[in-house]
Chain A
Amino acid sequence: MDMPLPDASVIARRSRILARLAAALPADALISDPVETRAYECDALTAYRCLPLAVTLPRTTTEVATILRLCHEEGVKVIPRGAGTSLAGGSLPTADAVVLGVARMNAVLETDYPNRFIRVQSGRTNLSVTGAVEADGFFYAPDPSSQLACAIAGNIGMNSGGAHCLKYGVTTNNLLGVTMVTMQGDILQIGGPFLDAGGLDLLGVICGSEGQLGVVTEAWLRILPKPEGARPVLMGFASNEVAGACVSDIIKGGLLPVAIEFMDRPCIEATEAFAHAGYPDCEALLIIEVEGSPAEIDDQLARIKTIAQRHNPVAYRESRSEEEAKRIWLGRKSAFGAMGQMGDYICLDGTIPVSELAHVLRRIGELTASYGLRVANVFHAGDGNMHPLIIFDANKPGDLELAEALGADILRLCVEVGGCLTGEHGVGVEKRDLMHVQFTRDDMEAQLRVKDVFDPDWLLNPAKVFPLDVTASRRVA
């Protein structure tokens, strides 16, 4: 993967830039010692690393504005960073850039139950947003797998989803407003505690923009009353096709489970060997969770069972207790850890129309065999967001490149059948060079224009999302 050469004039002015930042910020808000900045040289895409010019860790919106204004004046690039859990290299630094991490900005600013929102600083972790309201019977719906660690800032940057978004939507459907600082250092409020913000939907553009448009420091988030209860059912099928058809019939049947998770045979075998959840021996497995009162759950599960039986499941297990529910989820939740036992892996994030599921799984199998690698599939079947895990050996020369090439082929396949390159992880640097597969030059140009308006000097999170050849003229300007 190529990155642009660092700006020599910025590197040459390093001490002056650091002195200005140090003078403007509290003592502990600036880190420039390479021993300490090493912790910020990559995010969760650890294959790529680069020490930044410096790291700033502000505590207030005003400090964020100070950092951005100063960097703008000096022509210094800025890498916004939440908790650093991006799997797409969304906050990979460059040597001529200052990392701006919001992790210290984690306060709850306002909770309003009658109006059903919470306002938080953007460095707050996803799970701790729910933690702040759950004693009062509420929750924040988007639930990325990394929710214990990932920050709301990154969730907004990547428009994160999770297992339960089939019913509750992704971040953009649960975000009411933000306080954002532009690269020029201007503080804006976009949207607010109300449902309809009026004007152009700038909030919709900011959500998922991967730190290209501004730094979000605060957010108004929609909170929902917690359902009375939830219960999963696990079912096994003789083929991926049958499991896929069952998903489609359940959705057509008017049911709206909160989660439909799909695991294929390699994934089932790996998780069984690792977590011993007692999953059945089958080709494909579904975990479906429904919500409501005990009687409503029984009713929905009865309907699901009727539909599932038409597809002759080889196993059908309804949880009747908290303990059984935990066992059903155990394997799914351990899947990524289990893959780690098999070797190094790349976790892809393509999305496909649900109707193409069986076809895509078959093609992935063929492609994988032709590369001589192994792939296990686990994904959110309700919305077609796939996470094929490509297993390789990082110590074997050429294996990473081989795995990356297979990954690119699988993502091309997703686009070919009507899907997209990324459903929830983002483009970052990881999928940047595949954007041509999904978008024409004109399609990308339209997106670049939005960036031109918010960040005319192209200093925010450089060399991410858009292929370098497409942005070359703007980056030198």
Chain B
Amino acid sequence: MQPDTEAALASLIAGASGKIAVTGGGTRRLDAVAGEPLSTAGLTGITLYEPGALTLVVQAGTPLDVIETTLTTENQRLPFEVPDLRGLLGRSGNSTIGGTVAANASGPRRIQAGACRDSLIGVRFVDGTGTVVKNGGRVMKNVTGIDLVKLMAGSQGRLGVLTEVAFKLLPVPETAATLVLHGLDDATAITALSSALTSPFDVSGAAHWPGHGTFIRIEGFATSVAYRSAELQRRLAGFGTVDAAADDPWPAIRDVAPFHGAAGDVWRLSTTPSQAPALVARLAPRQALYDWGGGLVWLLTDEGFDLRAALGPFAGHATLIRSHSALPTFHPEPAPIAALTRGLRAKFDPRGLFAGAL
């Protein structure tokens, strides 16, 4: 099924008699979903682009690269630096903007510019009853009614099928620079990143790639980037020599390139930066990659290793990104939260068409 209008999509869902497997570009979905395939590829096109208002409204099936190309012509971008997980997950195809939103896919700039959900200002979607719902709009400030925009971001297609999404954009900065520290152990590296992130110098990337370096990115006008780089070099001098990075490491960090093609399971751990090194040390993974100043850790582990059991209770959660084991993809939720999640799914998808493990 590949409807080419929102109305056609709504009538398909209203008339559905069994489970539906909604797919955008097929590049991000983490858990297998049984059901009749329903592609959003027919819902494409930019509905509205106002560079002077930093606003984009776009059909959910629009390929991400089409959007990026369009924004480049006006020297603007989506603020949240979308990760490309094809290499990690062994997928082909082109990501869609709807899939990006459904996964709340957010890259290294998350620490400064926010997640996908923070830039998302409006949605249209078709719920499990076949009803078209609109929420939010195309303005940056909006507190009219209950915020279903945020609820749809990261909902993994469990509540409805997105048909249109609206974003606030940012201008592409004049320049960017990356500083690197070499040879730091994980705990020292995270302390160095925290020091950078608690400075007034507006860091837009903070990652530790063991064996490669500890990286700090600054973006903006050239004079400002030069000034802030120098100040950060001074501030971090106690951690060793602070160099300008020779190459741009951020695409590799964003896309978890160090794990591409490597055997083993891949986990994504969300926690506070301070706890991260000790948690990783306890897990002794094959490899680790710290982003978001240490608040996001990618881990390559032995196949079938139950990382959650090994961690025990901690402040945060772990998602199994790539595996052939039967371990659950998403972190089990505390009972009262799980009850609310179930309640919302039952309301938005009363027939359970969009089944999945969330």
- Give the CA-CA distance A227 to B133 in the complex, in Å: 41
- Could you give, for residues 152-181 of chain A, a 1 whenever the CB lies within 8 Å of some chain B CB and a 0 otherwise? 000000110100011001101100000000
User: Does the CB pair B104–A351 fall under 8 Å?
Assistant: no
Known contacts: A420-B144, A439-B134. The answer to whether A116 contacts B197 by CB under 8 A is yes
| A374 close to B (CB within 8 Å) | no
- Give the CA-CA distance A194 to B317 in the complex, in Å: 9
> Which A residues lie within 8 Å of B172 (CB)?
254
Report A51 CB to chain B, min CB distance, Å.
Answer: 28
| A252 close to B (CB within 8 Å) | yes
Of the candidates B174, B273, B330, the one whose C-beta lies within 8 Å of that of A115 is B273
User: Does the CB pair B147–A205 fall under 8 Å?
Assistant: yes
- Could you give, for residues 409-437 of chain A, a 1 whenever the CB lies within 8 Å of some chain B CB and a 0 otherwise? 00000000011111111110001000100
> Which A residues lie within 8 Å of B115 (CB)?
195-196
| B271 close to A (CB within 8 Å) | yes
| A2 close to B (CB within 8 Å) | no
> Which B residues lie within 8 Å of A296 (CB)?
221, 223-224, 227
Q: Chain A interface: which of B38-46, B152-160, B207-215? A: B152-160
User: Does the CB pair A351–B53 fall under 8 Å?
Assistant: no
Q: Which residues in window 10-56 of B have CB below 8 A to A?
A: 50-55
> Which B residues lie within 8 Å of A158 (CB)?
143
Report A445 CB to chain B, min CB distance, Å.
Answer: 8
| A447 close to B (CB within 8 Å) | yes
> Which B residues lie within 8 Å of A198 (CB)?
270, 317, 319, 330-331
User: Does the CB pair A194–B221 fall under 8 Å?
Assistant: no
- Could you give, for residues 224-235 of chain B, a 1 whenever the CB lies within 8 Å of some chain A CB and a 0 otherwise? 100100010000
User: Does the CB pair B52–A447 fall under 8 Å?
Assistant: no
User: Does the CB pair B148–A450 fall under 8 Å?
Assistant: yes
- Could you give, for residues 339-368 of chain A, a 1 whenever the CB lies within 8 Å of some chain B CB and a 0 otherwise? 000000000000111110000000000000
| B312 close to A (CB within 8 Å) | no
Of the candidates A112, A188, A248, A420, the one whose C-beta lies within 8 Å of that of B52 is A248
User: Does the CB pair B111–A226 fall under 8 Å?
Assistant: no
| A114 close to B (CB within 8 Å) | yes
User: Does the CB pair A450–B344 fall under 8 Å?
Assistant: yes
Q: Which residues in window 102-135 of B have CB below 8 A to A?
A: 104, 106, 110-111, 114-115, 117-118, 127, 131-135
User: Does the CB pair A439–B221 fall under 8 Å?
Assistant: no
Q: Chain B interface: which of A4-12, A20-28, A31-39, A451-459? A: A451-459
User: Does the CB pair A202–B227 fall under 8 Å?
Assistant: no
| B245 close to A (CB within 8 Å) | no
Of the candidates B54, B143, B333, the one whose C-beta lies within 8 Å of that of A425 is B143
Q: Which residues in window 150-179 of B have CB below 8 A to A?
A: 150-151, 153-155, 158-159, 170-174
Of the candidates A193, A194, A225, A420, the one whose C-beta lies within 8 Å of that of B139 is A420
Report B80 CB to chain A, min CB distance, Å.
Answer: 12
Of the candidates B74, B148, B200, B292, the one whose C-beta lies within 8 Å of that of A195 is B292
Known contacts: A200-B358, A256-B170, A384-B141. The answer to whether A446 contacts B131 by CB under 8 A is yes
| B194 close to A (CB within 8 Å) | yes
- Could you give, for residues 175-197 of chain B, a 1 whenever the CB lies within 8 Å of some chain A CB and a 0 otherwise? 00000000000000001001001
User: Does the CB pair A205–B148 fall under 8 Å?
Assistant: yes
User: Does the CB pair B143–A212 fall under 8 Å?
Assistant: no
| A132 close to B (CB within 8 Å) | no
> Which B residues lie within 8 Å of A73 (CB)?
none
- Give the CA-CA distance A210 to B143 in the complex, in Å: 9
User: Does the CB pair A200–B341 fall under 8 Å?
Assistant: yes
Report B167 CB to chain A, min CB distance, Å.
Answer: 13
> Which B residues lie within 8 Å of A453 (CB)?
340, 343-344, 347
| A292 close to B (CB within 8 Å) | yes
Report A284 CB to chain B, min CB distance, Å.
Answer: 17
User: Does the CB pair B146–A209 fall under 8 Å?
Assistant: yes
Select the residue from B51, B54, B115 with max chain A CB neighbours within 10 A: B54
| B246 close to A (CB within 8 Å) | no
Known contacts: A252-B52, A449-B348. The answer to whether A423 contacts B273 by CB under 8 A is no
| B145 close to A (CB within 8 Å) | yes
> Which A residues lie within 8 Å of B319 (CB)?
198
* Interface residue tally on A, bucketed by range: 35 or more
Known contacts: A195-B111, A196-B296, A355-B53. The answer to whether A450 contacts B227 by CB under 8 A is no
User: Does the CB pair A299–B155 fall under 8 Å?
Assistant: no
| A204 close to B (CB within 8 Å) | yes
- Give the CA-CA distance A197 to B336 in the complex, in Å: 15
User: Does the CB pair A225–B200 fall under 8 Å?
Assistant: yes
Report A190 CB to chain B, min CB distance, Å.
Answer: 7
> Which B residues lie within 8 Å of A135 (CB)?
none
Report A166 CB to chain B, min CB distance, Å.
Answer: 8
Known contacts: A194-B270, A453-B340. The answer to whether A421 contacts B358 by CB under 8 A is no
- Give the CA-CA distance A110 to B200 in the complex, in Å: 22
- Give the CA-CA distance A440 to B47 in the complex, in Å: 20
Report B211 CB to chain A, min CB distance, Å.
Answer: 24
User: Does the CB pair B343–A201 fall under 8 Å?
Assistant: no
> Which A residues lie within 8 Å of B317 (CB)?
197-199
Known contacts: A198-B270, A198-B317, A351-B139. The answer to whether A172 contacts B145 by CB under 8 A is no
Of the candidates B134, B223, B270, B343, the one whose C-beta lies within 8 Å of that of A443 is B134
> Which A residues lie within 8 Å of B270 (CB)?
194-198
| A383 close to B (CB within 8 Å) | yes
User: Does the CB pair B147–A420 fall under 8 Å?
Assistant: no
| B272 close to A (CB within 8 Å) | yes
| B73 close to A (CB within 8 Å) | no
User: Does the CB pair A173–B118 fall under 8 Å?
Assistant: yes
In the complex formed, the residue of B with least CB distance to A212 is: B146
Known contacts: A114-B274, A418-B138. The answer to whether A435 contacts B200 by CB under 8 A is no
Report B57 CB to chain A, min CB distance, Å.
Answer: 9
User: Does the CB pair A384–B221 fall under 8 Å?
Assistant: no
User: Does the CB pair B199–A188 fall under 8 Å?
Assistant: no
| A19 close to B (CB within 8 Å) | no
In the complex formed, the residue of A with least CB distance to B197 is: A116
User: Does the CB pair A194–B272 fall under 8 Å?
Assistant: yes
User: Does the CB pair A293–B337 fall under 8 Å?
Assistant: no
Known contacts: A194-B315, A227-B200. The answer to whether A354 contacts B118 by CB under 8 A is no
- Could you give, for residues 314-340 of chain B, a 1 whenever the CB lies within 8 Å of some chain A CB and a 0 otherwise? 011101000000000011011011001
| A109 close to B (CB within 8 Å) | no
User: Does the CB pair A450–B146 fall under 8 Å?
Assistant: yes
Report A391 CB to chain B, min CB distance, Å.
Answer: 24
> Which A residues lie within 8 Å of B148 (CB)?
205, 446-447, 450
> Which B residues lie within 8 Å of A419 (CB)?
137, 139
Report B214 CB to chain A, min CB distance, Å.
Answer: 15
- Give the CA-CA distance A76 to B106 in the complex, in Å: 43
> Which B residues lie within 8 Å of A188 (CB)?
334, 336-337, 340
| B142 close to A (CB within 8 Å) | yes
In the complex formed, the residue of A with least CB distance to B203 is: A225
| A314 close to B (CB within 8 Å) | no
In the complex formed, the residue of B with least CB distance to A173 is: B118
Q: List 5 A-B contacts (CB under 8 A).
A: A195-B115, A204-B117, A205-B150, A439-B134, A446-B131
The 3 closest A-B CB pairs, nearest first, are A204-B150, A248-B52, A423-B141
Contacts A172-B147, A198-B330, A351-B142 aside, 7 further interface pairs with beta carbons under 8 A come to: A161-B141, A195-B111, A208-B143, A209-B146, A226-B200, A383-B141, A385-B140
Spell out A's residues near B (CB within 8 Å).
112-116, 137-138, 158-159, 161, 165-166, 169-170, 172-173, 182, 186, 188-190, 192-205, 207-210, 212, 225-228, 248-249, 251-256, 292-293, 295-296, 299-300, 303, 351-355, 380, 383-385, 418-427, 431, 435, 438-440, 442-447, 449-454, 465-466
